[in-house]
Amino acid sequence: MQTLAVDIAATFVDDTIVLVTGPVRALLRFAMRPIDRIANACDIAGVLAERRATFRMWRANRKLSILGRLSPFRHLAHLT
């Protein structure tokens, strides 16, 4: 029963974090849109696209937590 209470509390905290960060990201994206347009217009060599791809790859690789690294099913994570 205690595990259920902890799961509910963790879900509530996670949902609250997403609820707060979502509008903040949207506002930041709206404020940065003119700067991104200028940067993309000035990017002749394609450096920004390469940096974005590298960052996405890095972020996808860091999603494994400590428990995820120790899990016997960690190699099946790409199936979910």
What DSSP string runs through the chain?
A: -HHHHHHHHHHHHHHHHHHHHHHHHHHHHHHHHHHHHHHHHH--S-HHHHHHHHHHHHHHHTT--HHHHH-TTGGGGGG-
pTM greater than the 0.85 cutoff: no
Model confidence over 11-63: pLDDT tens digits? 888 888 888 888 988 998 899 899 888 988 888 888 888 888 887 777 676 66
Closest C-alpha to 71, from 13, 2, 63, 48: 63
